Amino acid sequence: MKINVADVLDDSRWTGYLSLLIGVTALAIVLDGMDNQLLGTAVPALMEEWKLPRSAFSTPLAMSPLGMMIGGAVGGWFGDRFGRRSAMLLSIFAFALPTAALYFANDIFMLGLLRLLAGLGLGGAMPNATALASEYVPRRRRPFAVTLIIVCVPVGAMLAAFLSARIIPAFGWRPLFLGGGLVPIVFGIVLYAILPESPQFLARRPHRWPELVRLLRRLGHTVDADATFTDLPRRASSSQADTMFRLFSKEFRRDTFALCSAFFFCLLVIYLALQLLVTALKGSGFDQQQASDILGWWNIGGIGGAIVGALIIQRMGSRTTMLALSAIAVLTAFYVTSLPIHPSHRITLLLICFVMGSAINAVQVALYALAAHVYPTEIRGRGLGTVLTVGRVGNVLASYVGIFALDSGGTSAYFAAFGIGMTFVFISIATVRRHIPRDKVD
């Protein structure tokens, strides 16, 4: 009996085992998001301890996104070639070890080098976790499942903000990085024991079909021990399916460029907040806990906004939903430029950052689901890795753009950069052709 794994998975039901798989994959991204944001919350303490201006930290802040840019491209290729599971596990250990080693950093060079190494792992984890989530679940639940996985990035960032608000004032910045490295190492060992490979990846390798039979049975399917498998997607694929060129062929060119642009500007804006919001607010008179808590509520807004946005996408499709969220982000970003940024207005600023974080993070999380929808499974890992790699250029530039804005125009120019970036995101999303329509998720 020959089984088309794509059809089986597309029409399957949700099971308890599937919930476990999505849950542990999501937790990996929580840790990814937490480790990624630790330095941004620690910069004010480092400035004070090392007696350096904030401009000295532009390059160390940029090193992690630079590593993520490389890791995203390599990780996507590695996942397509050797398996999503192997790539994700390797990525976890790759970002955890350098993060723990930051406990011993004593100068800018070592700080930047270790963040570069950690970035390689942080960048590789995301495209493979997204691809795994999209390939485990039924088609009708795929956009929402991917969104739930990626929403764990702001969950991790929220944890980083709230933990730093309590740990740094009491114990300093070093224990923050030590814990941020050791916890993912332990989790990676657990994940090695329980996480299976992508069923679609296994279907393309006959020597691993017994493993696929066991996995499909655990997912609730009745499969004969001697079954054979194929992985033909419902949409026809071209002969260039396993090459980078297909991403820029006539079939995908417009969407690839539009997604690259959307990821670039959206990640630039998000990292303006994650890397420098605490620093910007401390420069305006806020203390470490107040500034970190506002960043934490930015991410809480992002979590709620992403989940609500995913639910709306299931009803209205991705185009209308994402354009509306982008418009809200633009309006709130420019509105905050007119406000006095001072601790006496802390609650007002917190509420506005909550709304702005809701909209911006919701757009970013939805972009992962949109990219997973645009590309078929045989190039999904590489497609996600490519658009993320371009997006990471925005990450790299964020620290330079943000510090330039703060030094030249203060907090008003800093928040204006948010609005300008999200305007370009709006235009990019409007350009994408293959949006998730209602009939794909109803």
Alpha-carbon dihedral 211, 217, 221, 227, rounded to 10 degrees: 40
Nearest by Cα to 379 from 74, 76, 8, 72: 76
Q: Write the pLDDT tens digit of every residue in 399-411.
A: 999 999 999 999 9
The confidence band for 232, taking pLDDT boundaries of 50, 70 and 90, is low
What is the rounded average pLDDT of the residues 245-258? 85
- Collect contacts of 205-212 with beta carbons under 8 A, ≥24 apart: 212/5
Q: How confident is the model at residue 440 (pLDDT cuts 50, 70, 90)?
A: very low
Helix (H) or strand (E) holding 423: helix 377-431
Helices (H) and strands (E) counted in the chain, each on its own, are 15, 2
* Rounded CA separation 292/297 (Å): 9
Percent with pLDDT over 90 in the chain: 48
Identity at 402, one-letter amino acid code = G
pLDDT tens digits for range 412-431: 999 999 999 999 999 999 99
Q: Cβ distance 382 to 348 under 8 Å? A: no
Q: What is the DSSP letter of 13?
A: -
Please give the pLDDT value at position 233: 54
Asked if the model's pLDDT at residue 1 lies above 70, the reply is no
Contact residues for 265 (Cβ-Cβ < 8 A; gap 6+): 394, 421, 422, 424, 425, 428
Give per-residue pLDDT as tens, 165-207: 999 999 999 999 999 999 999 999 999 998 898 888 888 888 8
* Residue 392 reports pLDDT greater than 90: no
Is residue 356 within 8 Å of residue 333, measured between CB atoms?
Answer: yes
Cβ neighbors of 386 (< 8 A, separation 6 or more) are 73, 76, 244, 247, 256, 260
Compute the CA torsion angle 368, 373, 379, 382 (nearest 10 deg).
-10
Report field, pTM of the whole predicted structure over 0.85: no
pLDDT of 439 reads 55
The mean of the pLDDT values for the chain is: 87
Share of the chain above pLDDT 70, in %: 95
Instruction: Name 434's Cβ contacts closer than 8 Å, sequence gap at least 6.
Output: 255, 373, 374
Count of residues in the chain = 442
- Per-residue pLDDT of 266-282, as tens digits, reads 999 999 998 999 999 98
**Residue that has been written with the tokens 């190494």 in this structure:** 117
Comparing CA positions, the residue from 100, 63, 103, 118 lying closest to residue 180 is 100
